Amino acid sequence: MPTASARPPVARRVVFVDGVRTPFGRARKDGLYAHTRADDLVVKTVRELLRRHPDLSPERVDEVAIAATTQQGDQGLTLGRTVGVLAGLPRTVPGYAVDRMCAGAMTAVTNVAATIGVGAQDVAIAGGVEHMGHHPMGFEADPNPRFLSERLVAPDALNMGVTAENLHDRFPALTRERADAYGVASQAKYAAALAAGRIDPDLVPVALRDPERGWGLATADEPPRPGTTLDAVADLPTPFRPGGRVTAATSAPLTDGAASCVLAAEETAAELGLPVRMRLVSFAYAGVEPEIMGVGPVPATRKALDRAGLTIDDIGLFEINEAFAVQVLAFLDAFGIADDDPRVNPYGGAIAVGHPLASSGVRLMTQLARQFEEHPEVRYGVTTMCVGLGQGGTVIWENPHHADCTTDGSQQ
């Protein structure tokens, strides 16, 4: 029996201290990371976070949670634990692996945030990695035959590209012309952000060794295609369906990369002198029909808004993962937001930079944190993404630079 003095833990404010990522590479035999291990990529991000924040003693890290969708080979063996050891953290720091497909890193973040919030931990590292060149999506997966024999899902629910085509079918207003325009705009916004110096500060250079080309250094994202035009994409083939609407220009390319971040209780960040770049407000996950998995961010966002006591009109910045253009457009239509709304993915998105599945959630957060610094007039922002097999995830963040937020987290 608990003693009379025992008290349940009190929820604490959780803050996003910092996030970094590797440059993203194309998942192919001659891609940036063709000869680089997946675990080494994410180790690089953890070491960089510790380097950037010398006031954070490694002994103060309470947990390492690292996500991967295909947990085998160099992405297996309980990544959080192995990455912590490889990154030089004390052996006393535990860790674990996470899998929620595309929302893996997002789930790692919300898992450790919840743990920090109830007082079980003070500081944690969360992130994700996906080496799609070594581990193609669905490689050696063995879906239970009951899914199809008992008609639990349609056969096309297991092919993400086909689910994007299904979204076009379900919502006729989501035309190929709109998707093409959105994909071209993503490339242009990324190119503008890169030229303005808004991408490089969050990148961690990665040393490369190629048996044929020797040593090198990855310092920039490989997937973007600057200068893409509507005319150039108009006649692209539709690989998921003859006469379909989803093309390479409106899909995130297959990508290799990793991202990690530090989260802490707000009072611990103050104690250690760590920056507070965002405050976590609420988060939610939701399930939808697997056949149209791209709508997952819509109910997830509604749940997160409801839990926070906010409306969509309170959100001043949106970081929406661009698995497919049609998925973002479905979200925008659901909330009455214009395709070219400047609040949406100001730095471009995954269509340009790539989507290394389990790592993308932290990329969204890191970009939102930088945008908060640029826009102190914005109080709330959203990171959201669809998830394979019919899910969506959303995290709502508060901008500590906003005039209505004091340095101690109280509201004016």
What sign results for the dihedral spanned by CA atoms 147, 153, 158, 159?
A: positive
What structural domains does the chain harbor? 12-133+153-396 (3.40.47.10)
- Report pTM: 0.95
Q: CA–CA separation, 130 vs 29, rounded Å?
A: 15
What are the tokens at 62?
């309470």
Helix (H, G, I), strand (E, B) or coil at 168: helix
Helix (H, G, I), strand (E, B) or coil at 354: coil
Give residue 327's pLDDT.
97
Q: Catalogue the active-site residues.
A: 102, 355, 386
Give residue 10's pLDDT.
58
Give residue 158's pLDDT.
80
Q: Residue with structure tokens 């639990």?
A: 152
Q: What share of the chain is helix, strand, coil (3-state, %, to 5)?
A: 35, 20, 40
How confident is the chain (412 residues) per 10-residue block, as mean pLDDT?
49 96 96 96 98 97 97 94 98 97 98 98 98 88 87 85 96 97 98 98 95 89 97 96 96 98 98 98 97 97 98 98 98 98 98 98 98 98 96 98 71 43
Q: CA–CA separation, 332 vs 344, rounded Å?
A: 9
Q: CA–CA separation, 272 vs 310, rounded Å?
A: 31
